[in-house]
Amino acid sequence: MKLLLVEDNADLSSWLTRLLNQSGYAVEQAFSGEQAAHFLLTQSYDAILLDLTLPGTPGQAVLRDLRKKNNPVPVLIISAQDTLQDKIAHLNLGADDYLAKPFDILELEARLRSLLRRASGKTNPVIRCGELEYDSNSKQFSNRGQPSNLTPREHAVLEALMRRPGKTVSKKDLADGLFTLNDSVSPKALEIYIVRLRKKIEHSGAQIITLRGLGYMLTHVAATDP
């Protein structure tokens, strides 16, 4: 899952990025409204964490511009402006949730997970495909009830496919949605992750299919006994 963090406090931004990276999110950092607007012209994100008090273009303007362009990306406001009027005003402006500073990282992650579930239309935190399960709260995969041992990038690729079972996910969408502008991911590397994942989800009833020229699809098939 790829997030855009718009926060002008460099220390806070670095701290949040580090913790969110540890939880499996790819995080792009923007330190101003102008920089956020630039990223949004060329990049797609699963959610935006948006401060309001930014140098230059304020967070309110970033949010307003997003909604004028009918961009449905979920937005979680993180701000020291914590009055009831502030919250109501920005929710009415198009924000999906509002968290006042200072906040606990556990609450931030819980709100983010809830926001992402609502955006995907899935309210159950556990996603299943055959006997392959993904718990979006613990961010753990299991195969036939046993925890799956995945590298961070294997986890990211499988999560992206798991959230869209039965649907084609292009290589470009996988790369764009999983890795930040600072990452270097070749098509060959993505293919290697897919090969490894196929071995790790064997006998689960879930299978990653290659659709030539289109991308990949996670689908439910009859599991094969070991």
Could you read off the pLDDT of 197-213 as tens digits, one per residue? 999 998 899 999 999 88
Q: Looking at the chain, which residues constitute the CATH 3.40.50.2300 domain(s)?
A: 2-120
Q: Looking at the chain, which residues constitute the CATH 1.10.10.10 domain(s)?
A: 126-220
- Cβ burial, residue 101 (10 Å; 0-12/13-18/19+): middle
**CATH tag for 126-220 (out of 2.120.10.30, 3.90.1150.110, 1.10.40.50, 1.10.10.10):** 1.10.10.10
pLDDT tens sequence across 163-208: 888 899 988 888 776 666 566 666 788 889 999 999 999 889 999 9
Mean pLDDT (whole number) for 110-134: 87
From residue 16, how far is each of 21, 29, 43, 69 by CA, in Å? 8, 10, 20, 28
User: For residues 184-209, b (16+ Cβ closer than 10 Å) or e, as one string?
Assistant: ebeeeebeebbebbeebbeebbbbbe
Q: What is the CATH number of domain 2-120?
A: 3.40.50.2300
